[in-house]
Structure 1
């Protein structure tokens, strides 16, 4: 199902700022998405972070504090969700929360509209023998749902800004920007994955989508698994890296499908920087390839007059 709010924010960012290309659009949107600011996307992203965010740190820190009711558990959970694997139970552990206070914080943040739950599609493990018992490591495995941030900027704040809050207050930004330089691509990968699902489902808009999102279990993760009512299955992997994706990534995805006993109607690869010649020659009905420029279709036929609620609008 298309993430309507993310798509609206993506379009709003584009029509407000008109970046030169879709790679720039995605990269800058992953940080400033949801703020409703005018961004000069010809400027280096680190310059904009310092100029627009760091120099207005007190204002944003106060506004975000108000959103989370200045509750430390809410901030700790948001940080754990931002930097971790998004699984709820592991986020509780990382934040030092238990099921009670962690669940309370999770419910608050969900009701506030800052996060949304991505429900697991993993089936509970069962013994092949009706009277048999599962192995201990399998029996101990807990199916965990994941969390997505509603606004990219909130995730950026708790991924990069909040962990360095003391240094920032002291005027020291060195660790923040060193961390950003190291982790920018891995950080942007999740937003790219979310937008890739939006693009896939946008292209499938004439079909009835029964289920869509990432798939994970104890051993396997697939970035996107979409199923339509005519029993067509689409699987996809998303790579936000500075090199072209090659055939090995296709093989990895095919191996995952075999382990899950899935026969996809179409396999899809999304790439920041395109694909090897060998992969391009394999394109067809069973394999689709999307690069950054293909995301232009999400804004091409949209209206630039639409008004949406941004993060700090009074009714958010």
Structure 2
């Protein structure tokens, strides 16, 4: 008999939560770091707010060595220092940071939902835990959707890899700039259609970066507004979940 999503979650994660912890064999601060990184912006030094700085660096390096985390390199170019030009106040303590990614998405699910709620499992309140998962599942899935969109776009563009971009001022989900060819994109995994406002925000980000993209790309779980589709610009690509059949067909081929 085919089990439902939530029956599978119970069987794989909830019923074996303490077995998973035992197999990981990590100290409390490492577990705490993984819980924080499963939900926040994933920047390498972001756990410094939760864990003493001198321990945080060692923890991240250990988790990278164990192949639990992998690095997502920043595409931001370090600012060229000019003695004659005063550094903006907000940038004086700013450092370019890589991000970290869970090597295994199932493990990220565990630290996103299960580890912070172990007390509910101990108290046999599994239905309450499943309720928390149902309410927040879309937020969890949005990052996975972003990774899928990167793979999708890389294959469509016939390039090795599509990246994300982040700096002090903005974050861009999809970023590719090589050999005078530039693509910027946004990904929305929401139960509502994308409107033109998202495209305008993306164009403003392009101005902030001082780039002129050859293509803008929008991915949407629920499609696009009539206005955006009716007035679609020539350098704009729009994709929905239906278009992901291309990835399945490509893998089967």
The alignment partner of 1:223 has SS state of strand
Matched positions, count: 253
CA contact (8 A) 2:45 2:57 kept: no
Partner of 2:107: 154
Partner of 1:233: 182
Partner of 1:217: 167
Deviations 1:26-46 (A, max 9, x none): xxxxxxxxxxxxx947x2x33
Aligned-pair RMSD on alpha carbons? 2.3
Task: Indicate yes or no: 2:70 matched with 1:116.
Answer: yes
Task: Indicate yes or no: 2:38 matched with 1:82.
Answer: yes
Q: Tell me the distance in 1 between the aligned counterparts of 2:211 and 2:2.
A: 45
Give 1:240 shift: 0.3
Give 1:48 shift: 2.8
Task: Indicate yes or no: 2:56 matched with 1:102.
Answer: yes
CA contact (8 A) 2:63 2:69 kept: yes
The alignment partner of 2:16 has SS state of helix
The structure, 1 or 2, with the larger RCO (C-alpha pairs under 8 Å, 6+ apart) is 1
Task: Indicate yes or no: 2:15 matched with 1:55.
Answer: yes
Give 1:170 shift: 2.3
Q: Tell me the distance in 2 between the aligned counterparts of 1:302 and 1:121.
A: 28
Partner of 2:28: 72
CA contact (8 A) 1:77 1:92 kept: no
TM-score, normalised with respect to structure 2: 0.90
Q: 2:206 aligns with which of 252, 257, 263?
A: 257
TM-score, normalised with respect to structure 1: 0.73
Q: 1:200 aligns with which of 150, 153, 161?
A: 153
* Distance change >3 Å, CA 92–CA 173, structure 1 → 2: farther
Name structure 1 gaps, 5 residues minimum: 1-38, 305-316
Name structure 2 gaps, 5 residues minimum: none
Give 1:169 shift: 2.1
* Distance change >3 Å, CA 138–CA 175, structure 1 → 2: farther
The alignment partner of 1:88 has SS state of coil
Aligned pairs (5 A) from 1:304-315: none
